Amino acid sequence: MTIRKPNIGPSDDPLVDLLSHRPRRLRRLPGLRRLVRETILTPADFIYPLFVVHGTGVERAIESMPGQAHRSIDRLPAVIDAVVAAGVPGVILFGLPAAKDAAGSENFAADGIVQQAIRAIKARAPELIVMTDVCLCEYTDHGHCGILGVDAHGHGPIVLNDATLPVLGRVAVSHAAAGADVVAPSGMMDGMVAAIRGALDEAGHADVAIVSYAAKYASAFYGPFREAADSTPQFGDRRGYQMDPANRREALREMALDADEGADVLMVKPALAYLDVIAAARDAFDLPVAAYNVSGEYAMVKAAAARGWLDERASALETLLSIKRAGADMILTYWALEASAWLAEGRDDVG
């Protein structure tokens, strides 16, 4: 038997002369491509973000995020039914309070907008996983993710880390008491996971999980969300607490700390410009990894598609696939419903 050497190109031996490596063989037919596909998206990968507001009969389109809306509680059942029908396992809630103040009081009010929404969703679809974003920025009049104060020299205002922790614990307990399954602290305060774990356990909510926005970068890609959530800081920026986009080792350190403090899932945010961080997280930790396909990643494809410059379906699915391929176990995405419908079409390029 002659063994063909894996050579490409001319040789004296007519057998060796054959082109023996032909990766295209397995790309020839849709069935072959499906058999060798390494990453497969399913609706079970997605978590759908929802924005809830006070009032009745409100379903107001969010201009910066085409296809997304502000909804009052009475408008939730229809979208919740759609999420369940799509096979998407969970939602994450963001609330717009009736009034903002320095401490963000509605954040931990029993009848706060998020607490009402949790109860309404659990009443409609008890099996649907309800996650909540635990942060101050949508509730504070200054738009920062913590309590403001001055430093040891009287300089400020700055976001006070340790004074913010009990507030985050209180918010998480209030969400848990309303029926949330998962809380997701997004404020990048040091020790936030430990503070929330402690507060939840003490209040009898040991079974509520924490998905920590562990590696959250100070990113330009949150722009459309800040319009949607009315959470733009009124002065300065978030670079004193969110991570520097230049740093990857630091992300691993942030994630190690959060894992140590009791995080059940580690999140990287944004996703697309940080695929290397998602991949590093996957390698370094056994915990599930979540990735947030943020508002700017969504809006830029929507905007280009609206001009006919990109095919939205193909671009969105390719984006989501890349996030999963990088190592994410779950993806928070505004495309959750549309992507599930596209996947159900069963075309041969992703499923």
Q: Is 226 in the site for ligand PBG (CB under 6 A)?
A: yes
Smallest gap from Cβ 62 to ligand PBG, in A, equals 11
- Cα angle: 335, vertex 292, 67; to 5 degrees: 25
Q: Is 258 in the site for ligand PBG (CB under 6 A)?
A: no
DSSP string, 185-201: E-S--TTHHHHHHHHHH
Smallest gap from Cβ 296 to ligand PBG, in A, equals 6
Q: Which 282-341 positions form the footprint of ligand PBG (CB under 6 A)?
A: 294-295
Kindly tell me the burial class for residue 345, based on how many C-beta atoms sit within 10 Å of its own C-beta (0-12, 13-18, 19 or more). exposed
Instruction: Choose which of 46, 51, 139, 222 interacts with ligand PBG (CB under 6 A).
Output: 222
Smallest gap from Cβ 151 to ligand PBG, in A, equals 22
Is there a contact between 167 and 103 (Cβ–Cβ < 8 Å)? Answer: yes
Q: Is 225 in the site for ligand PBG (CB under 6 A)?
A: yes
Stretch that binds ligand PBG, among 95-103, 148-156, 172-180, 219-227 (CB under 6 A): 219-227
CB-nearest residue to ligand PBG: 225
**What is residue 251's three-state secondary structure?**
helix
Smallest gap from Cβ 105 to ligand PBG, in A, equals 16
- Tokens representing 305 are 């598609």
Stretch that binds ligand PBG, among 121-129, 225-233, 258-266, 309-317 (CB under 6 A): 225-233
Q: State how far the Cα of 3 lies from the Cα of 13, in Å rounded to an integer.
A: 11
Q: Is 106 in the site for ligand PBG (CB under 6 A)?
A: no
Which residue in this structure is represented by tokens 């209030």? 174
Q: Can the peptide bond before residue 97 be classed as cis, meaning omega within 30 degrees of 0? A: no
Select 174 or 295, whichever has its Cβ closest to ligand PBG. 295
Stretch that binds ligand PBG, among 71-79, 158-166, 203-211, 220-228 (CB under 6 A): 220-228
Is residue 216 part of the annotated active site? The answer reads yes
Is residue 269 part of the annotated active site? The answer reads yes
Strand partners, 52: 71, 95
Strand partners, 50: 93
Report how far apart, in Å, the C-alpha atoms of 143 and of each of 31, 91, 225 are. Answer: 51, 24, 13
Which residue in this structure is represented by tokens 């997701």? 184
100, 122, 216, 324: the catalytic one is: 216
Q: Is 51 in the site for ligand PBG (CB under 6 A)?
A: no
- Tokens representing 286 are 């056994």
Q: Which 127-186 positions form the footprint of ligand PBG (CB under 6 A)?
A: 133, 135, 137, 186
Active site residues: 216, 269
* Chain contacts with ligand PBG (rule: CB under 6 A): 133, 135, 137, 186, 222, 225-226, 231, 294-295
